[in-house]
A and B are shown apart, each in its own frame.
Chain A
Amino acid sequence: MGSRLRGYENRDGIALVVPVTLVVAAIIVLPIVWTVVLSFQDARYVDVARNGLFNELTLDNYADVLAAPGFWRSLLTTVEYSVATTVGSITVGLVAALAFRERFRFRAPLRAVMLLPYVAPVVATTFVWQVALNPQYGVVNAFGTQVLGWEHPVNFLSSAPTALLTVIVYDIWRYFPFAFMFLGAALTGLSREIEEAAVVDGATPLQKFWFVVLPQLLPTIALLVLFRMVMAFNEFDDVYLLTGGAAGTQVASVRVFEQLTGSSDIGGASATAAVMAVFLGVALAVYLRLTARNREAS
């Protein structure tokens, strides 16, 4: 049956996939390769415009990147930021998913509302946060000084260490809906029978959560951690829009951006990006090894 079609399967399959693959290759894979090549060249915009990929190869960029104290500070900031937002957003998302597990009035519309921070344009929400936190006309500082009796308005986004903390809180706010959405779906998929059996055996609600529900959610949580860590490690928009990378919030992507636009040091920026990618790759490998061992154990 269908041997005519079977015979063309290989050809047809390739023909149908080629357009997408070409776009992804041209717009994503090629630039990544180019970045790696550029990181071994002492290139500025002029050199790239004149010589394309064929500049002299050197390791200077890597030496410069690794010797710059700014790089290590930025790496540390990125790690702190990524870990804090990942743990924070998944914890809040888990609490939210548990709270929304049982039916209640308006559950469906409220659940939809809870996803707003994640779907709304990042430019709009960062702008609202900036205005709300502004020392002169922001509602938060007005409330703090007039109602809570703060002595001075707080420069939430322009002084260390509150700037990094504020960015982290913003990102927990923006990304907890993502964890909420996935953990909610995972919770609906759980079989109730085991939990009912635990209740019959006299388990308290907390014991039921800790010994029955949480272990079943761990695969989803592990996946979310992986996903959020990667996204947070590469995050640019949120930090750049909130603080511009000032006041101790210069994460890796923002540093790369500044090297590119500020000093138009393409080689240096590419080397920074490459080192960061390697660092992320190693961290991921370690994480996958650790969780793989856990998966086998359980």
Chain B
Amino acid sequence: MSTVAGQTRVLRVLRAVVIVALVLATVVPFVYMLSLSFVRIDDLLRDPLRVLPALERLTTDTYRQVLASEQDGGYGFARFMRNSAVVAVAASALTVLLVVPASYALTRLRFAGRTQVSWLFLAVYLFPTIIIAVPVFVGFQVFGLGSSLVGLVIAYVALTVPVSVHMLRNYLTGIPESIDEAAVIDGASRLQILTRITVPLAMPTIMSTALYSFMIAWNEFLFALLFLSAKQDLWTVSLGLTRLADGQEVSKTVLMAGSVLLTVPIVILYGVAERALTEGLTAGADKG
């Protein structure tokens, strides 16, 4: 009995220590990011250990510089953010448009090639993005899409479709088919069932699917690097930040402000939809 009590006591302490340590480990880098984004570069160089600067030394000039366009002596992040937003919104809208009918068909209809399609979506993950990216880039060049945001959107849709189908399909399986059948008796067509019944019922999951693909598109780096490196006016935030960080001329605290601008939209969206998103992704995990 004493070992039970002893272990319980030790584990209780250990548990508190683990929780504190893990929360610190996850949060501290983000606090560092936020804090340095308000620091003057000479202050950072003088005393790197001073992570939280004195209040009167704080500056928002880093944000002004990073956001302003090149003509105004800035680094054009306002434009990068607009590019990223356009690409991410378009990619998530297109993904939803393609994935909803497909997931409906995969859960409700028996048709030739149904299992093959499901396998195809899984097999995609066996290959590194890099070997997909290069032929896609070369192929897109032929159609004049190589260095354009349109090409990037198409590529992002393909990248997010497999997981999105998985999320939506899991959810649709849980909606009883008898609802569809009742609608059929009332004389509804397939399209009406899809738009009037399935879509409203699955709305929360559709939203989290859209969010997921928005986040993937906003965060993506490799395709943007291959497609848009040469075209600075089309850079996304991720690409812009890495390109500017490669050189020596842009101060690190200004780029830290850029990192905050890159991260904040994602954190806000995630904050809004955290539960729906994690439930959508882990659906089925509790069934083992």
Is residue B55 contacting chain A, with contact meaning CB distance below 8 A? no
> Chain A: interface secondary structure?
helix
Across the A-B interface, give the 7 residue pairs with the lowest CB-CB distance, nearest first: A189-B286, A13-B111, A27-B158, A234-B128, A31-B135, A13-B109, A16-B105
Residues of B within 8 A of A32 (CB): 127, 131-132
Asked if B45 and A27 sit within 8 Å, CB to CB, the answer is no
Encode B1-27 as 1/0 by CB contact (under 8 A) with A: 101100110010001001100110111
Binds A, one of B60-68, B69-77, B200-208, B262-270: B262-270
| A contacts, CB < 8 Å to B | 1-2, 5, 8-14, 16-17, 19-21, 23-32, 34-35, 38, 45, 48-49, 92, 95-96, 98-100, 104, 110, 112-117, 119-125, 127-132, 136-139, 141-143, 146-147, 173, 177, 181-182, 184-186, 188-189, 202, 204-206, 216, 219-220, 230-231, 233-237, 241, 252-253, 256-257, 260, 266, 269-270, 273, 276-277, 280-281, 284
Asked if B287 and A189 sit within 8 Å, CB to CB, the answer is yes
Knowing A24-B161, A120-B30, A120-B263 touch, does A137 contact B252 (C-beta < 8 A)? Answer: yes
Is residue B185 contacting chain A, with contact meaning CB distance below 8 A? yes
Asked if B135 and A23 sit within 8 Å, CB to CB, the answer is no
Residues of B within 8 A of A269 (CB): 134
Is residue B86 contacting chain A, with contact meaning CB distance below 8 A? no
Residues of A within 8 A of B190 (CB): 5, 8, 12
Looking at the complex, which one of A13, A23, A114, A129 makes contact with B29 (CB distance below 8 Å)? Answer: A129
Knowing A137-B48, A276-B128 touch, does A124 contact B112 (C-beta < 8 A)? Answer: no
Looking at the complex, which one of B51, B130, B238 makes contact with A253 (CB distance below 8 Å)? Answer: B130
Knowing A5-B190, A35-B131 touch, does A146 contact B49 (C-beta < 8 A)? Answer: yes
Is residue B150 contacting chain A, with contact meaning CB distance below 8 A? no
Encode B132-150 as 1/0 by CB contact (under 8 A) with A: 1111101100000000000
Residues of B within 8 A of A45 (CB): 138
| A-B pairs with beta carbons under 8 Å apart, 19 shown | A5-B184, A9-B110, A10-B109, A10-B110, A17-B105, A20-B102, A27-B158, A32-B132, A115-B270, A121-B262, A137-B45, A142-B49, A173-B26, A182-B285, A185-B285, A189-B288, A205-B11, A252-B128, A277-B131
On chain B, the number of residues with a Cβ less than 8 Å from chain A's Cβ atoms is 98
- Other A-B contacts than A31-B132, A116-B27, A128-B32, 9 sampled, CB-CB below 8 A, are A8-B190, A34-B139, A35-B134, A95-B18, A99-B19, A127-B256, A139-B51, A189-B286, A277-B128
Residues of B within 8 A of A131 (CB): 32, 36, 252, 256
Residues of A within 8 A of B256 (CB): 127-128, 131
